[in-house]
Amino acid sequence: MSVNALYSPGVAGDHEHQPVRVEAEALGGRRLRAFDFVMVAFVTILLLSNVLGAGKVSVIDLPGIGEWPFGAGILFFPLSYVIGDVLTEVYGYARARRCIWAGTAALLFMAFMAMVVVALPPAPGWTGQAAYDQVFGQVPRIVFASILAFWAGEFANSLVLAKMKVWTQGRHLWSRTIGSTIVGQGVDSLIFYPLAFWGAAGWTNDLVVKVLLTQWVLKVSWEALLTPVTYAVVGTLKRHEGVDVFDERTDFSPFHAKI
């Protein structure tokens, strides 16, 4: 079937039909109906989880263990990996790559804007400067580690999922969403925690390793628990778009802009 046929009435986006398998290169730069909305969701969750979640340490009382501290961002940041899985599974590696770069650019601008806003002298009588310093005055080392870890982890996640989809011939979605998250979150954690905290005041080497492993396990577990949601979203989007994209001849360079 030709690519044009995928967009003819009664096929693409028709909920009565199954999505048609298509090589990613064949789609080229054609517009897909829901892609823009998924990209916006990806970038939005990424930014909000870093703004609202990264600055707060919470605690949970685990039976038999007691109080266990955790970064509040872990509740929502893994959703960016879920959406990253959806992007690659539904739209292919090239479009996921574009979203990762959009997210990276958004994080860089957010870090720059936070630096400028915090540095601006407060007006006389305004009492919010200390709160701004605490929430948004992040250490440059941590900001750099966070952005680099996100970039590398997301690309690793997308690459593994795209390759596994071809290897499995599109079967066993759960295996590639969880498998890619194990790799992607592993790369993310291995970059972020040593870069951000190794040798930092109050952080022993053992503590860095403990937090690294704990966060990695929690993020992968969170992804596994969300597998039914991933299945539902992927199925709905594939039927809506009318295509099932396979990256059989894709250029997997993270620096290649073509879709």
Residue numbers of the domain that contains 220 = 13-118+136-246
pLDDT exceeds 90 at position 64: no
Taking residues 6-24, report their average pLDDT.
Answer: 60
Residue 5: which pLDDT band, with cuts at 50, 70 and 90?
A: very low
**pTM for this prediction:** 0.85
Domain contains 171: yes
- Name the helix (H) or strand (E) containing 23: strand 20-23
pLDDT exceeds 90 at position 10: no
pLDDT in tens, 123-159: 988 888 888 887 777 768 888 988 999 999 999 999 9
* DSSP alpha helix (H) spans, the chain: 24-27, 35-48, 78-91, 93-119, 129-136, 140-167, 173-197, 205-225, 227-241
Which CATH number characterizes residue 216's domain?
1.10.1760
Domain contains 6: no
Taking residues 107-120, report their average pLDDT.
Answer: 90
Domain count, the chain: 1
Domain contains 205: yes
pLDDT of residue 179: 95
pLDDT of residue 14: 47
